[in-house]
A and B are shown apart, each in its own frame.
Chain A
Amino acid sequence: MTLILHDLAPMHWALAGAGIAAVTLVLLWVGNRRLGISTGFEDLCSLALPLPYFRRGSLLGARRWRLPFLAGLVLGGALSALVGGGWAPTWDLGMFDRIVQWGPAGKLAWMFAGGLLIGFGTRLAGGCTSGHGIFGLSNLEAPSLVSTLGFMGSGAVTTHLVYRVLFG
């Protein structure tokens, strides 16, 4: 199985996992920051929406580190594409294209809907794969176990519905 990105072979899971752990630990040891990504959605919202929810002290203070971190994620993705075979905009969506076969408009609508659930859900849960799944589980936090089991479970059910029932 290869990546959608230039059909590259994936990095070995142990190396990738160790790399993520290293980033997580350095972020804490040097920056005194807890790994988390989905709060970034609130950071971005706080730049435009004056709602009280987006004026929380803990949120405003975190923008200084999280926004550069998110910019780094974009840069990391770009570098990966560049050194992997060249950067180019693409609509390629792997098995979605092979099985669901929707055009760009359908993909955008589907992605927007998925994103909507991700944005609302992760904020309601207080974290996502990084904050709950990686850091929370490593820190032995019970809420993170509940949330992780929740999103892994509903993710599996949804994928089975899409690829085994609706388009199977």
Chain B
Amino acid sequence: MLYLVLGTVFGFILSRSGAADYDFIQAMFLFQSTQLYGIIGTAVLVTAPGLWLLKRRGRTIAGRPLAIERKAFTRGTLVGGLLFGVGWSMAGMCPGPMFVNIGEGKLYALAALAGALTGAGLLGAVYPRLQRPLTLPPITVGTGEG
């Protein structure tokens, strides 16, 4: 329930702020509007000190140790980022807004999601072959208790 509520709030904000709007995304990439830069900048500037405080405290509200796994750098970090950027520009939505746009009733977003799932599935299929050349981490098959 917590995650459904947080997701709903997040989705509403993305929808109303232009972060899930094709025109605002293109205006951002064309440097014609500062709206999206303002949103991302503010989010980072507010999250950063909040994160710092949480890490200093070291525990969640329930007292459990904070688990923040830092992302590793691989060649895939840059290559993947570049590919993602091309796709983001084309579709006018990044992953979160894809789901928001579907909720809003934008039918074409379903095609973007279908493409994204196909792309993720494709990566899963070719991952073993990309592992060494792109210095990707090994696959650890698990029971789902992580």
- Point out residues on A near B: beta carbons under 8 Å: 1, 3-5, 8, 10-11, 13-34, 37-38, 40-42, 44-45, 49, 51-63, 65-66, 68-81, 84, 87-96, 104, 107-144, 146-160, 162-164
**Cα of A137 to Cα of B113 in the assembled complex, Å:** 26
Inter-chain pairs besides A24-B43, A31-B6, A59-B146, 4 sampled, C-beta below 8 Å? A28-B51, A34-B67, A53-B127, A71-B7
B76 touches A126 (CB 8 A): yes
Using Cβ atoms and an 8 Å threshold, which residues of chain A touch B13? 11, 16, 19-20, 23, 76
CB-defined interface of B115-146 with A at 8 Å, one 1/0 digit per residue? 11111111111011010001010011111111
B residues engaging A (CB < 8 A)?
Answer: 1-24, 26-27, 29-31, 33-36, 38-48, 50-51, 54, 60-62, 64, 66-74, 76-92, 94-96, 98-109, 111-125, 127-128, 130, 134, 136, 139-146
Complex alpha-carbon distance, A152 and B89, angstroms: 9
Q: Chain A nearest CB: distance from B5 CB in Å? A: 7
* Cβ-defined contact, A95 with B84, below 8 A: no
Q: List 5 A-B contacts (CB under 8 A).
A: A4-B106, A20-B13, A22-B46, A41-B116, A160-B30
**In the complex the two chains form, is A94's CB within 8 Å of B111's CB?**
no
Asked whether A21 lies within 8 Å of B47 as measured between CB atoms, the reply is: yes
Given A155-B89, A158-B85, answer yes or no on A25-B54 (Cβ-Cβ < 8 Å): yes
Q: Quick one: which of B51, B70, B115, B146 contacts A58, CB cutoff 8 A?
A: B146
B54 lies within 8 A of A91 (CB): no
CB distance from A17 to the nearest CB of B (A): 2
Q: Which B-chain residue is minimally distant from A128 (CB atoms)?
A: B95
A150 touches B82 (CB 8 A): yes
Closest to B17 in A: A16
Assess whether A111 is in contact with B112, with CB atoms less than 8 Å apart.
yes
**Residues in B whose Cβ lies below 8 Å from that of A71:** 4, 7
Q: Are B42 and A126 in contact (CB under 8 A)?
A: no
> Taking the nearest CB of chain B, how far is it from the CB of A144, in angstroms?
6
| Separation of A88 and B10 alpha carbons in the complex (Å) | 21
